[in-house]
């Protein structure tokens, strides 16, 4: 066992002495040592209940013949961080999470690892660490929050974000906004729709790194406790059989996950995160991978924010495994941490509600829920959740309204300085330029809340999974890296064509070259972790991972 390095032989007497001080017995010295990376905190709704889940994991590990050792992992709540300077820290936290788990597991020679987490950057960071370490690992995600309710309507966090726009437009009173705020989020769990946290939980299950049923099971359901117990029990056989993450995180495994992503219509952030995880696993996943799979995979689930269905509805419809049942004919039959192959899992989980998980013969859209765009404005690519865009806006051409940052754009939207037909450009919000590539749920929700129907938004930053409408993110190269988005002037014409997968700045190469020579980059003064991040981070079209050296 890997842990023998710290507990076998006379030279390890000091190490064993320290282990004994923890209460480890002679018998346990011969058992597998299992690390539990727990992202519990009481500032993140998706994590506030993870102590309870981790306890069930501990019980499962002990029952299966392992010794559990729990340690903490940070977690940022993107919703609380949204709309202010704190959001710049969210994406960099993914790298911190991966690094901290790698450091703990390597230093203490764990034989296996259970990752307990829920939200946006936490699960990707955990999977990145699993791929790096390549020791037996299994993930238990904390589960979605139940829907809020008000006046007979199901609510989620996005209703509150859009409520800010409605209140600013005079469509809602301040007291009505307060009532909405108090009703939308009834307890623990990740935000209710298919936003980034829940999409990444679905990706974890589709990749085969969590047990069947894990992603959609609500945080407060007793089934989640049973899944946590079973997760703890399962890690010990994985150690004994030496089933390693890189045997599961294969090219076929990523292909399966991306197909599920397209069928669900998941968050644009999956493009960043799956590419980052794939790089750690040495698997070739690029924007073209997403583009090609999107073209042949139908969009089957009309999930919030684009459609009416919450994660709770997906759970009762059969969850991710039932989506895999629908896609079984196109999925590779690879192994998962459960010990069952993908096809066995798909066969055993039929669809329970065809309104929530549509049949292949009657999809929500014929192609996947995400699109990769390229053109003169985004030579290296951009991403849009096309499944959340009204078809009337699939082709749009309009004047650019240019902002060197989210705050100025948000002020213009709230003050009604944006006109129908405009293309809002928010730049210097990419991985390097922001730095940190913040999500921009506030301006996109404000646009929806105020009732705009023919305004597009383009940015080198990114969006929350809660964003809907014609919002194009991850524009690469970003402005801070010399990308064409940094050359756009107020009033320039931008053309978007989702049918052709293009986004273009309608200027001649000569004008662009002249502007490039005159361009003065917009730079932000940062220190500490953000300064290090800005110096090392790569572009969004490669997953915004830190470069080595």
Catalytic site positions: 464
- What are the beta bridge partners of residue 439? 462
Decide: 418 and 443 in contact? Cβ < 8 Å: no
Question: For the chain, how are helix, strand and coil distributed in percent, rounded to 5?
Answer: 45, 15, 40
Decide: 206 and 301 in contact? Cβ < 8 Å: no
Neighbours of 172 (CB within 10 A): 18
Exposure string (b/e) for 108-142, b if CB count within 10 Å is 16 or more? bbbbbbbbbbbbbbbbbbbbbbbbbbebbbbbbbb
Alpha helix (H) residue ranges in 208-250: 222-241, 245-248
Decide: 470 and 396 in contact? Cβ < 8 Å: yes
DSSP string, 255-280: HHHHHHHHHHT--THHHHHHHHHHHH
68: tokens are 């559990």
CA distance 422 to 436: 26
Q: Is the dihedral of CA 517, 518, 522, 525 positive or negative?
A: positive
Exposure string (b/e) for 317-339, b if CB count within 10 Å is 16 or more? bbbbbbbbbbbeeebeebbbbbe
148 sits in which H/E element: strand 148-150
Decide: 89 and 529 in contact? Cβ < 8 Å: yes
Q: Which residue, 110, 137, 129, 116, is CA-closest to 19?
A: 110
């Amino acid at each position: 066992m890997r842990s023998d390095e710290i507990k076998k032989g006379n030279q390890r007497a000091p190490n064993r002495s320290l282990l004994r001080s923890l209460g480890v017995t002679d018998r346990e010295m011969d058992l597998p040592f299992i690390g539990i990376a727990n992202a519990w905190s009481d500032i993140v709704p998706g994590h506030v209940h993870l102590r309870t889940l981790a306890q069930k994991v501990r019980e499962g590990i002990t029952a299966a013949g392992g010794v559990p050792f729990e340690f903490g992992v940070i977690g940022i709540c993107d919703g609380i961080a949204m709309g202010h300077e704190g959001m710049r820290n969210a994406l960099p936290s993914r790298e911190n999470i991966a690094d901290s788990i790698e450091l703990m597991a390597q230093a203490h020679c764990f034989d296996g690892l259970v990752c307990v987490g829920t939200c946006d950057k936490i699960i990707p960071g955990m999977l990145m660490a699993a791929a790096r370490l390549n020791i037996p690992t299994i993930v238990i995600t904390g589960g979605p929050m139940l829907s809020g309710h008000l006046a007979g309507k199901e609510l989620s966090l996005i209703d509150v974000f859009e409520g800010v726009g409605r209140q600013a437009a005079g469509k809602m009173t301040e007291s009505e906004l307060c009532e909405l705020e108090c009703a939308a989020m009834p307890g623990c769990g990740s935000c209710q729709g298919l936003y980034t946290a829940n999409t990444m939980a679905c990706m974890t299950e589709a990749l085969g790194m969590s047990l069947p049923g894990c992603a959609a099971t609500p945080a407060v359901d007793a089934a989640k406790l049973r899944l946590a117990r079973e997760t703890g029990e399962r890690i010990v056989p994985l150690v004994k059989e030496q089933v390693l993450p890189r045997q599961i995180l294969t090219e076929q495994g990523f292909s399966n996950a991306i197909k599920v992503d397209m069928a669900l219509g998941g968050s644009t952030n999956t493009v960043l995160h799956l590419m980052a995880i794939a790089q750690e696993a040495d698997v070739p996943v690029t924007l073209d991978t997403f583009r090609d799979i999107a073209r042949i995979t139908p969009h089957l689930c009309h999930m919030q924010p684009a459609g009416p269905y919450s994660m709770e509805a997906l759970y009762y419809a059969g969850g991710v495994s039932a989506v895999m049942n629908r896609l079984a004919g196109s999925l590779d039959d690879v192994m998962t941490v459960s010990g069952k192959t993908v096809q066995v899992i798909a066969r055993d989980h039929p669809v329970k509600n065809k309104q929530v998980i549509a049949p292949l013969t009657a999809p929500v859209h014929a192609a996947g829920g995400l699109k990769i765009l390229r053109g003169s404005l985004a030579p290296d690519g951009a991403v849009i959740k096309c499944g959340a865009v009204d078809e009337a806006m699939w082709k749009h051409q309009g004047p650019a309204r240019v902002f060197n940052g989210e705050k100025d754009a948000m002020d213009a939207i709230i003050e009604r300085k944006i006109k129908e037909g405009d293309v809002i450009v928010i730049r210097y919000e990419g991985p390097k330029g922001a730095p940190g590539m913040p999500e921009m749920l506030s301006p996109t929700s404000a646009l929806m809340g105020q009732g705009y129907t023919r305004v597009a938004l383009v940015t080198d930053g990114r969006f929350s999974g809660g964003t809907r409408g014609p919002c194009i993110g991850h524009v690469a190269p970003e402005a801070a890296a010399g990308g064409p988005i940094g050359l756009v002037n107020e009033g320039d014409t931008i053309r978007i064509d989702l049918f052709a997968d293009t986004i273009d700045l309608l200027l001649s190469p000569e004008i662009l070259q002249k502007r490039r020579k005159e361009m003065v980059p917009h730079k932000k003064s940062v220190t500490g972790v953000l300064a290090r991040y800005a110096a090392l981070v790569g572009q969004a079209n490669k997953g915004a991972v830190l470069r080595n050296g």
